[in-house]
């Protein structure tokens, strides 16, 4: 089956391949992700990190991202361990396991686009320069970003990502975002 998807992706090109899967990614988001993306645990974790990171400059964010990238591959590093060991990360891994292979990765971002919690190690800490963050948190409550389906380097699977804005239930204000990687095979 992976061979069929690989060949299809090469023949169709990533945008045509993504268009074929966009309705399935959207449907999965509505049926499976929207119900827990703003859970109290996720909201509390983002709010705590937003408070801790209040006043960060772009230079500080860039330095944090640079340090994360230098430590990729070492889950015990001082930058990565707090994200992977966060209690919410355990909840994210449980979500992946209960998805029966549909979900491949999940990560939660704060108001800067910095990782708060993650099911697995990401290649960078700062997602703020990417559409998954800019098209969700950057556009406000209710915003959704659905990526093209492509080979993900970290999971080595053809996947699409669905990202949504996370909002504070008390104020209705956007506080961060969540990205869920979905295995293309599971959508067939």
Which CATH number goes with the domain that contains 118? 3.30.450.20
Q: Answer yes or no: are the C-beta atoms of 38 and 166 closer than 8 Å.
A: yes
Structural domains counted in the chain: 1
Domain of 152 in residue numbering reads as 2-187
pLDDT of residue 105: 94
Q: Is this model's pTM higher than 0.85 or not?
A: yes
List pLDDT tens digits, range 85-138.
999 999 999 999 999 989 999 999 999 999 999 999 999 999 999 999 999 999
φ, ψ of residue 97 to 5 degrees: the values are -60, -40
Which residues of the chain fall below pLDDT 70? 1-19, 154-155
SS3 69: helix
């Amino acid at each position: 089956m992976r061979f069929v998807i690989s060949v299809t992706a090469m023949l169709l090109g990533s945008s045509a391949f993504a268009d074929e899967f966009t309705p399935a990614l959207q449907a999965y988001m509505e049926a499976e992700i929207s119900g827990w993306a703003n859970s109290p645990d996720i909201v509390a974790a983002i709010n705590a990190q937003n408070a801790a990171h209040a006043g960060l400059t772009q230079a500080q964010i860039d330095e944090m991202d640079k340090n994360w990238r230098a430590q990729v591959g070492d889950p015990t590093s001082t930058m990565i361990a707090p994200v992977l060991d966060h209690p919410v990360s355990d909840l994210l891994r449980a979500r992946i396991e209960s998805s029966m292979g549909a979900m491949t990765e999940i990560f939660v971002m704060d108001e800067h686009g910095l990782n708060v919690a993650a099911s697995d190690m990401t290649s960078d800490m700062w997602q703020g320069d990417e559409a998954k963050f800019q098209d969700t948190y950057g556009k406000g409550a209710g915003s959704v970003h659905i990526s093209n389906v492509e080979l993900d380097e970290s999971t080595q699977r053809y996947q699409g990502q669905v990202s949504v804005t996370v909002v504070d239930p008390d104020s209705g204000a956007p506080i961060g975002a969540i990205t869920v990687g979905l295995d293309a095979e599971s959508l067939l």
